[in-house]
A and B are shown apart, each in its own frame.
Chain A
Amino acid sequence: MSTATMTSVAERQVVAFRLGNETYAIDISYIHEIIRMKEITFVPHAPHYMRGVINLRGRIVPVMDLSARLGLPAHEETAQSRIIVVEVHGESIGMIVDAVSEVLRLPEDQIEPPTQIAGNESTGYISGLGKINDRLVLLLDVEKVVERE
């Protein structure tokens, strides 16, 4: 959600994270919490991008491999890897990302529609392209990402 600021241009607050070489971002209102990697119980016969389930303080929360979901090449987990737990329509789901960088404020006028992005598989899950200084930030359409295929 955009918080009221003194500037005349509305801003969007997002959590930025790294996936491969690119920076993605999720609207902060979806974020439930960000946790370190923990043991994931594999769930057979689940969609290919689902890694399994974790125990989040007594709740069973499914975790997806966001790279796999977006059709990006697979890569190693590192000490920086995190699980971003988002809440969509009252249900939690975790997403594995390479590293969480920061909370950004994106002015609305710096966000372009996704049609501007060169076509790759992830395009369908991108709601916009943000620019902050020289950096490009891909805004993730969270509801689309968590929707089951």
Chain B
Amino acid sequence: MMDTSEYIALFLEEAAEQINILEQDILLLEQSPSQEVLNEIFRAAHTLKGSSRAMGFTAMGELTHAMEDVFDALRKGELSVSTSMVNRLFDALDTLKAMRDQIAEKGTSDIACDELVQSLRDILGESPSDAPTAVPAPKQAEKSLTLQEHEREAALTALDNGLSVYHLTVRLAEDTLMKSVRALMVLQTIDANGGAVIASHPDEDALDNEQFDLSFELLVATDKPADYLRNLLLQISEIRDVEVAPWQESTTPQPAQATTTTEAAAPLSEAFSAEEPMPQPTQPATHPAANGEGEKTASRTSTASQTVRVDVARLDTLLNLVGELVIDRTRVAQLGREFEARFQHDELVDSLLETAGHIGRITDELQEHIMKARMLPIEHVFNRFPRMIRDLAQKFGKEVRLVMEGQETELDRSVIEIISDPLIHMLRNSVDHGIEPPDQRESLGKPRQGTIRLSARHEENHILIEIEDDGKGMDPAHLREAAVRKGILTREAGERLSDREALNLIFAPGFSTAKEVTEVSGRGVGMDIVRSNVQRVGGIVEVDSTPGKGTRFSIRLPLTLAIIRALLVRVAGQVYAIPLSSVLETLKIHPDMVQFVGRRPAIVLRGRTLPLVSLQAHFYKDDFDIPSCRAEEPMYVVVVGFGERQIGLVVSHLIGEQEIVIKSLSRYLGEINGVSGATILGDGRVALILEVADLFDDVSACAA
């Protein structure tokens, strides 16, 4: 038996991909079955079946095969989609996932699936007789590729659409150990490069089961040139030769065309047999130049795939290095200005400034591209939601339609990891608490089916994610009352809250409006954790709701966590960086404006009381420095927001805005209240980055 370990990583990754496709498509199937979806779903199941069999995971292959049979029956119109069928398919899919995970972990899977396979067969009304062995054998006898009517049509359509259709003959090296793996790799390479296999000889089942000699034929539609396709396939090891001939309508079904290709192949095999005594027969010999394109043979290794996989750690290192460069760029620009001030328009100074400007632009671009390389489409998170919503809706007896927009919106992978759980929580809330039961909706004059809209888009320097439902909404009065009842607020404080502020009560720790605790949500922890998760990555979550109409959550997230814009301020002779995402405005105020609420300093800003926190007092345990306020010097206040709340940070000086690279403080220092990390300034000094959320704790006593 051949060692399969080198393929297993590839297999696992592809299995995950196919399972993902299956999940999405089964959902689509339930909502709006179309021939297109059925074809895709069938293909995915088929691919998965083939690869798991080739890797020796027979149970997985068996289960996928049973699924595939169901899809096939659907495709042929012998069956129609039902909820129970979809549930069974999902059960099977979950088992496939579990199998895949187990293989990833232990290299093998012992999960049984006999019952599931049987339940899928029951759908087909089949007896438990073993179907797969019966089918493929006779087809092997056919000599060459002949087209079914629908295959011929597909090929013609492809031609109409400006694609090329090629007849491929793939020959494997004589001692190929796992022929089906090679065949699969050929099919997948074509697939991965935008090609579509219209037909094959022998058929794909036979290819899977190694029921072919050393060659097989494919009919492929692609937008790639023939040579390109050929070179791609020749990179797969143990592929001895690939012959690519353009297909024309009149040709294939008749044996004539097939013969010509075979004839063309004949000298090739001769060439090969001449080479056979070569010392390394396992190494596929360089394919011969018999097709009259001799110079192309060299390009075999030069045509690489369009993408490479890169370790995340390597990207992190790159980003760190770019971070250093960003700092130096700032420094160089600063030096340039200093030289200019000293020497005016000396020729050398001008040339230095010009170079500094150029380095600056290049650095910006480099930074942008590396950040982009770290980006993933938010699809990675969104993908699992349709299934989740379906299951939840079923569980709660609701009818819910999930509309997703902007799945292609990209954001930094570190942000993606963090945003997933909050989104799940909010979506569950929407299904559980937001959307009304169908009958109730009907009596309210709403469509029975509720809609949840999940969208993502770029907005300035942020990503905006919105979750909007057309459910029952939230009543501020009701929220106020609940908060008072739960002791979160006093009655008076509750009455003082604006409607908007009352809505924000749902983010308060210990607040839950659910009348009864359900399995899914409403345990009283939830939205406060959502908010703290979002804020941890420098994001903001807001809620807007109209009773009877629905609720909308908006989450604003930074594009990346590694480099941010910050306002630099000076406190007690040291520079601190305040993330710009939480800065609302800066004020220069006269000390007379400071009032004391109890012992807390505050100012009145546009009719609202703004509590003040002196950073000096916070960090250096001084008292609020009033004597210096009494002096006639103005005070600088940075107004920062956290959720709905705002405070003013008193600083000694405002320095300016700058891009900073976030670095973590050493674990030897532990968690520092009020500080989230550090950064290196243009002059090489270290500045601490403020954790604005911590500073709000200082005033929390007076805020409620």
Contact = CB atoms under 8 A, between A and B. Distances in A.
A59 B680 CA distance: 9
B653 interface: no
Given A44-B619, A60-B663, A55 B669 contact: no
B672 interface: yes
Contact of A58 (B324, B618, B664): B324
A50 B684 CA distance: 20
B620 A44 contact: yes
Given A53-B678, A55-B684, A60-B663, A41 B668 contact: no
Contacts of A39: 685
Nearest to A92: B666
Interface string B663-704: 111111110111100101000111110000000000000000
B574 A42 contact: yes
B674 A41 contact: no
Given A54-B686, A55-B686, A62 B668 contact: yes
Q: Chain A at the B interface: mostly helix, strand, loop or mixed?
A: strand
Interface residues of B, number: 25
Contact of A46 (B327, B574, B618, B669): B669
A43 B324 contact: no
B660 to A, nearest CB: 12
B685 A62 contact: no
Interface centre among B664, B668, B675, B687 (most CB of A within 10 A): B668
Interface centre among B620, B680, B686 (most CB of A within 10 A): B686
A60 B675 contact: no
Interface centre among B666, B669, B680, B685 (most CB of A within 10 A): B666
B674 A45 contact: yes
Given A60-B665, A60-B680, A41 B688 contact: yes
Contacts of B684: 55
A146 interface: yes
Contacts, number: 71
A91 interface: yes
B668 A91 contact: yes
Interface string B425-465: 00000000000000000000000000000000000000000
Interface in A36-86: 39, 41-47, 50, 52-55, 58-62, 64
A49 to B, nearest CB: 11
B670 A47 contact: yes
Contacts of B663: 59-60
A137 interface: no
Contact of B666 (A41, A44, A55, A60): A60
Given A55-B684, A55-B685, A60-B680, A44 B668 contact: no
Given A41-B574, A60-B663, A93-B666, A53 B686 contact: yes
Interface string A81-116: 000000000011100000000000000000000000
Contacts of B619: 44-45
Contacts of A60: 663-666, 678, 680, 686
B669 A41 contact: no
B198 to A, nearest CB: 55
Interface centre among A46, A58, A91 (most CB of B within 10 A): A58
B669 A62 contact: yes
B365 to A, nearest CB: 21
Contacts of B686: 41, 52-55, 60
B687 A45 contact: no
A146 B667 CA distance: 10
A135 interface: no
A144 to B, nearest CB: 13
Nearest to B677: A60
Contacts of A46: 669-670, 672
A44 B616 CA distance: 10
Contacts of B674: 44-45
Contacts of A61: 666
Nearest to B572: A42
Contacts of A92: 666
A43 B669 contact: yes
Nearest to B616: A44
A53 B672 contact: no
A2 B471 CA distance: 73
A53 B680 CA distance: 11
Contact of A62 (B574, B665, B673, B680): B665
B672 A41 contact: no
Contacts of B670: 46-47, 148
Interface string B343-383: 00000000000000000000000000000000000000000
Nearest to B328: A58
B685 A50 contact: no
Contacts of A91: 666-668
A11 B324 CA distance: 41
B669 A50 contact: yes
A55 B661 CA distance: 13
Contacts of A146: 668
Contacts of A55: 680, 684-686
A47 B665 CA distance: 13
A41 B687 contact: yes
Interface in A4-37: none
Interface in B223-268: none
Contacts of B688: 41, 43-44
B218 to A, nearest CB: 52
Contacts of A45: 619, 672-675
A52 B686 CA distance: 10
B678 A41 contact: yes
Nearest to A58: B324
B665 to A, nearest CB: 7
B313 to A, nearest CB: 14
Nearest to B323: A58
Given A53-B665, A62-B666, A148-B668, A44 B675 contact: yes
Contact of A43 (B618, B672, B685): B672
Nearest to A52: B686
A42 B327 CA distance: 21
Contact of B675 (A43, A47, A64): A43
Contacts of A93: 666, 668
A55 B619 CA distance: 21
A92 B688 CA distance: 18
Contacts of B620: 44
Nearest to A59: B663
Interface in B507-526: none
A54 B669 CA distance: 13
Interface in A120-141: none
A67 B85 CA distance: 74
Contacts of B664: 60
B395 to A, nearest CB: 47
B602 to A, nearest CB: 23
Contacts of B324: 58
19 contacts: A39-B685, A43-B669, A44-B672, A44-B674, A45-B672, A45-B674, A45-B675, A53-B665, A53-B678, A58-B327, A59-B663, A60-B686, A62-B666, A91-B666, A91-B668, A93-B666, A93-B668, A146-B668, A148-B670
Given A45-B672, A46-B672, 8 more contacts: A41-B687, A41-B688, A44-B619, A45-B619, A46-B670, A53-B665, A60-B666, A60-B686
Q: Which 3 pairs of residues, A with B, have the shortest CB-CB distance?
A: A44-B619, A41-B686, A62-B666
